[in-house]
Each structure stands twice: as C-alpha cells, then as structure tokens.
Structure 1
Amino acid sequence: MKIEELGADATEQAYDAMRQLRPHLTSAGFVRLVNEVQRPQGYRLVGSWEPTAGKVVAAAGFRVLHMLAHGRVLVVDDLSTVPASRGQGHASRLLAWLEREARSQYCAQVHLDAGTHRYDAHRLYLRHGFAIKSFRLMRLL
C-alpha cells in the first residue's frame, strides 16, 4: 500500500474512489472541477494505491484554511474507498497521512464532515480520535 499526493496531471486516478461519494460527477467533470475550480482554492488530493491492482483505490481531498473559531485547520472535503477495497486499511492510512500533513502545515486541528447516513464512516472517524463537536446545518436555495 502506497500513499501519495496526486498532482493535477493525476487527478483522474482518484475518480473511481471519489465517485463513491460524488456519483453525479463524470470522470471528465470531476477532473475539470478539481483542477480548474478547487485546486486554485487550495484543494489537494492524496491517494492510496493498491499494489496488486496498481491503481488508486482510496482518495482524500482536503485543504488548509484559517478559521476565526479554530485557527489553522486541515479540512477534509472528501474521503472514499472503492467498495472492493474497504476494510483493508486504506482510509486509516489516509487519515494518518492527513494528520501528518496537518502537523507539517502547523494546523491546530483536522476537520471533516460525514453525511448523517454514513454510519461506517462515523465509526472509522471516532476510532481515529475524531469527536462530534458541532452540527453543520444547511439550507438548499
């Protein structure tokens, strides 16, 4: 298992993992949105490679922000693993990589959102020391 940051030329390699969370995006739409919109806003991608398959089977998208309430934080926007590779430690290794990156970027915290229906993700995050500290509310416009 190899964890590696994916540059703009490798964005498409994260698509199979990310489409589990974002099924509305096509491969080309995902690459265009990440590279043309999100990367200029500080978004970065990291992938976990399955050595036998030779491809990314889990990926995380994140950015570093400064918040009035929390200071400098690493915010995980997306974290997903292809179904066939779940339970093999890819997400855990990505979370460990993200924590190391947060520390190297002088972040005080790591933040992430998880949909209320994603019970397996909640268990994973709680096992890794995350705590539920607030609710994120939204209103569709």
Structure 2
Amino acid sequence: MVLEILPPHTHLAFRAMQALRGHLTDAETFSRHVDEVQRPEGYRLLGAFDDDRGDGVDAVAVLGFRFTTSLAWGRFCYVDDLSTLPEERGKGHATALLERVHEIAADEGAGMVHLDSGVQPERAAAHGLYFSQRYRIASYHFSRTV
C-alpha cells in the first residue's frame, strides 16, 4: 500500500530513508528537518507499507519528491530520495512508489519526472529499476563543493 506521509507521521519514513541516507542519526531530527525546512520548499513523501499495516508502523520504502519549473523542461517532478529497507528489496515497493509519483506528476501537470542516481557498483539494481520504468540517462550531473 502506497500512502503520502504527512506530519505528524514523518518519522514513519525514517528507517527506510536512513538506508539511503546513512548520515541520518535519529527520527526526531529527521522529522523536524523534513517538516520545518523541506516541506515549506515543496518536498513531499510517499511511503510503501505492508498491506497489513497498523497505525504507527514504519514504511518499508520511501520516495521524496518535489515540483519545480525550469526553462529547459517546464514544470517537472524531481525525485530527491528513493529508498527501501534492505530486507524488503526486490518485492516491488520501489516500483509501486515510482508508479504513484508518475500518477501524481501527471495529475499536477508535470511533463517529466527526473532523478539522479549515484554511479557506485552497489547502485546497479536501482539503475535496473529505473531503466525498467523507462527512465533514460539524459545528461551528466556536475557538482562542486564551495
């Protein structure tokens, strides 16, 4: 089951997000940052939950996204984060999250969904998922510390 995770339930995304963002150390700090910094900038969270989910049960996978507009692409959806608990990988949770964000993007009038993914060997399974969902490598992403 895929649901949007809204305050005050942001902490339900912590464990799955920590699997991707290992620098995150506690659910309270994570929730406060998402709710007070990122959400006001348009960030939203989807969570995949086991079908027999009870209230207060952590998401097994999460997807963080936002909408923006650029001269190059017009209005588009950007996926900031997509993460699944290691023991839940390969069960279709990430696919369900991507399918749901595609629906939301279409409903919101976005022409495209974009995401970046690291090139480390351990990201190969994620890349396979993106290709299976008809994503393509469209550009290089450059960054510089200042």
After TM superposition, is the score higher than 0.5? yes
Match of 2:87 among 62, 84, 89: 84
1:75 counterpart residue number? 78
Counterpart for residue 111 of structure 1: 114
Query: 1-side partners of 2:116 and 2:29: how far apart?
Result: 23
Query: Sequence identity, in percent?
Result: 44
**Equivalent in the alignment of 2:51:** 51
- TM-score in terms of structure 2 length: 0.92
1:64 aligns with 2:63: no
Aligned letter for 1:19?
A: Q
Secondary structure (helix, strand or coil) at the match of 1:20 reads: helix
Cα distance between partner residues in 2 of 1:19 and 1:47: 13
Alignment of 1:26-41 (within 5 A): 26=25, 27-41=27-41
1:134 and 2:133 aligned: no
Letter in 2 for 1:68: L
Tell me the distance in 1 between the aligned counterparts of 2:97 and 2:18: 17
Determine the C-alpha separation between the residues in 2 that align with 1:22 and 1:59: 12
The residue that corresponds to 2:20 in the other structure is: 21
Structure 1 spans left out of the alignment, 5+ residues: none
CA RMSD of the aligned region, Å? Answer: 1.1
CA offsets per residue over residues 119-140 of structure 1, 9 Å max, x none? 1111100110000000111112
Q: Which moved more, 1:96-105 or 1:113-122?
A: 113-122
Give the number of the structure whose residues are more often strand, by fraction. 1
Aligned counterparts, 1:2-21, within 5 A: 2-21=1-20
Deviations 1:65-111 (A, max 9, x none): 11110000010000000011100000000000000000000000000
Deviation digits for residues 25-80 of structure 1 (CA, Å, limit 9, x no counterpart): 12222111101100000000000001346431000000011111000001000000
Query: AA paired with 1:123?
Result: G
Matched position secondary structure for 2:20 = coil
